[in-house]
Structure 1
Amino acid sequence: MSSTVDGRPTPSVRGVLADNGALAGLLVMVVALSILAPSFLSTQNLLNVGVQAAVVAVLAFGSTFVIVSGGIDLSVGSVAALSAMVGAWSSAEAGLPGPLALLVGLLTGVVAGLVNGVLVAYGRLPAFIATLAMLSVARGLTLVVSQGSPTETPDVVGFLGSNLTPYLPMPLLVMLVFFGITGFVLSRTYSGRAMYAIGGNEEAARLSGIDTRRQKLVVYALSGLFAAVAGMLLAGRLSSAGPQAAVGYELDAIAAVVIGGASLSGGVGRATGTLVGALVLAVLRNGLNQLQVSPFWQQVVIGSVIALAVLLDTLRRRTR
């Protein structure tokens, strides 16, 4: 039985887990892996899980804005690679100072996002088609800029992939910062409320006075910015920007958002759920490696878990 605070029921742990299937699944996986692979719960391994989750989580936070507003962004992996490559090229070839090269890389992501937004909001292209085109364009531009070879990143980007202390990796800190930013935007800003309104019913949002086209520009610009940050994190970890970096990451980002409870039809999604979804994928991959499962079978298991998570969430919503 739940207690009350200020006349309102306080949800029990059981109730919270019942309403958050991804969180319950994450806890079950952690318990199971701690039994099957005792080294899973070591401090170093848990930090590795956080670092592995960071890039996908930041990508997924950007994708959360898009999915909540009823859209989709298939280009985030390619935009991440392009942004990191442009930043690295600006430093290594154009001779820009590291911080300025980092800024150029971030602006590249914003511009790519704005192009997506213009195509969707003003060109009225389906988001799937517009962002699929950007996926190809951004990957092609990455190859053009790099000439097919990795490019060394400036020190400031390398810092993003380093450890502040033995127990505080920068990627983990950046992930938590952008988790806070995502939660703030969704819950405390006009644009966040507009995203939910547009995703719930775009025509009703327009009739209520929301400039839906301008808000879509904001949504895709944020997605591009977050993709650029994720690209910098990945490049920082690898100490170089590669032309084939982040291939397929857009699917992981979308999977993390959906596993976290967002609806692909729009209007539903939270930063907390997306973070849990990214951690589910990272824990699952790390655990399968700990258990020495073949990489071929890992893809089968991860795909099955994603499908099961979405199916269970759909059934839970229908039951409620």
Structure 2
Amino acid sequence: MIAVATLTSIHTSPSKPAAAPVPRSTLDRLRLAGPTMVLVALVLLVALAEPNFLSMNALAVVSAQAVPILLLALGQMFVIIAGGIDLSVAALASLATVVLAVTIGQLGALAVVATLVALTLIGAITGLLIVFGQIPSFVVSLGALGFWGAVALVISGSTTIYISEGYNAIFWLSSWTFIGLPLAVWAGVVAVAAIYLGMKFSSRGNVFHLVGLGEKAAIMSGIRARQVRVAAFALSGFFAGAAGVVLSSQQQSAAPQLADSLLLPAIAAVLVGGCAITGGIGGAWRVLIGALIVTVLRVGGSVAGIDPSFQQIVYGGVVIVAVILTLDRSRLSIIK
């Protein structure tokens, strides 16, 4: 996979590989177990309100809706672990749906590859602007959000594009199932497993954590920190493209704002899963749990009869609480 290939392409010093940070205190262990406990509690609460929530059909719907959030969150995870943030991921996913829709009729399955490559390059450009322009990632990605959102509007003519010709190249992601779950769900699980294995067993897999924990120390250890940060944004672009492909498969359409509502849920998934906003701490399995929590809040809230207008309030509260719990205040001399 592109994600694993990118991980292994970043060189560190040939000396003893640094170990990934491990929890040493009871509080750290509670933070690791906390998201899973929250997920179980949420599922039980929703199941009490609506017992059919635990049926196979309901679980298939929940897992399918979790996939775009999971993919966006996986890309965001690399950036946050490396000490930055990418506010453009949802706009890039929307752009990906549009690029796919206008090319799939002529290119077929190759349109998927072209979309993923294009979005990866766009993410890399954002990373290059940040590391060589020495501009905060918040500012550059915020500008990228507006820029690429406008590009998607121009390409689509500010309208929804329905995919008919060439749809066979992507329909299987949402239509074919294995053990009752769409193949897109299994693709997401495979992505999580691949990232986990790449980070845990590759000698270069923890470079994102090391850069996020201390860029100067990482550079002194022989890590090419600039390349790592560019790679993080490239991976963010790649997974935004993948999320766009899944959305197009599920909706059989594309729109310049199709994924825009997923920005806050994706960030919430990363943080509520236990990844530290200060960088250096996090992993793919944590993001998977976070994505499931956010999706259960979205779907389960509707099933339980909660007004959808309160969802953004819930997400905002979830993000604030997650930041409070994961913030490493020892690394911040000033809070501003």
Per the alignment, residue 221 of structure 2 pairs with 208
Distance 1:313 1:220, change over 3 A: closer
**Paired residues of 1:187 and 1:193 also in contact (CA < 8 A):** yes
Per the alignment, residue 152 of structure 1 pairs with 162
Q: How does 1:98-137 map to 2 (within 5 A)?
A: 98-137=108-147
| Offset at residue 301 of structure 1 (A) | 3.0
% identical aligned pairs:
34
Residues 1:258 and 2:271 are matched in the alignment = yes
- Runs of 4+ in structure 1 deviating by more than 4 angstroms, as ranges, are 15-18, 312-315
Per the alignment, residue 175 of structure 1 pairs with 188
**Paired residues of 2:272 and 2:318 also in contact (CA < 8 A):** no
| Offset at residue 127 of structure 1 (A) | 0.6
Q: Deviations over 1:203-246 (max 9, x none)?
A: 11011111111111211111110110011001110001111110
| Offset at residue 17 of structure 1 (A) | 6.2
Match of 1:81 among 72, 78, 94: 94
Aligned AA for 1:53?
A: A
**Paired residues of 2:277 and 2:326 also in contact (CA < 8 A):** no
Distance 2:266 2:36 in 1: 17
Distance 1:47 1:247, change over 3 A: same
SS state at 2:170 partner: helix
SS state at 1:122 partner: helix
Distance 1:246 1:171, change over 3 A: same
SS state at 2:177 partner: strand
Residue ranges of structure 2 left out of the alignment (5+ in a row): 1-27, 331-336
Q: How does 1:52-71 map to 2 (within 5 A)?
A: 52-71=65-84
**Paired residues of 1:64 and 1:270 also in contact (CA < 8 A):** yes
| Offset at residue 16 of structure 1 (A) | 6.6
**Paired residues of 1:83 and 1:232 also in contact (CA < 8 A):** yes
Distance 1:22 1:74 in 2: 23
Distance 1:195 1:274, change over 3 A: same
Match of 1:51 among 56, 64, 76: 64
**Paired residues of 1:62 and 1:226 also in contact (CA < 8 A):** yes
Per the alignment, residue 4 of structure 1 pairs with none
Q: Deviations over 1:72-97 (max 9, x none)?
A: 111111111112211211123xx22x
Distance 1:279 1:100 in 2: 31
| Offset at residue 99 of structure 1 (A) | 1.3
TM-score using structure 2 length: 0.84
Per the alignment, residue 138 of structure 1 pairs with 148
Residue ranges of structure 1 left out of the alignment (5+ in a row): 1-14
Distance 1:102 1:199 in 2: 32
Residues 1:242 and 2:247 are matched in the alignment = no
Aligned AA for 1:193?
A: N
Distance 1:111 1:158 in 2: 25
Per the alignment, residue 276 of structure 1 pairs with 289
Aligned AA for 2:275?
A: A
- The number of aligned residues is 301
Per the alignment, residue 9 of structure 1 pairs with none
Distance 1:188 1:165, change over 3 A: closer
Distance 1:306 1:128, change over 3 A: closer
Aligned AA for 2:130?
A: V
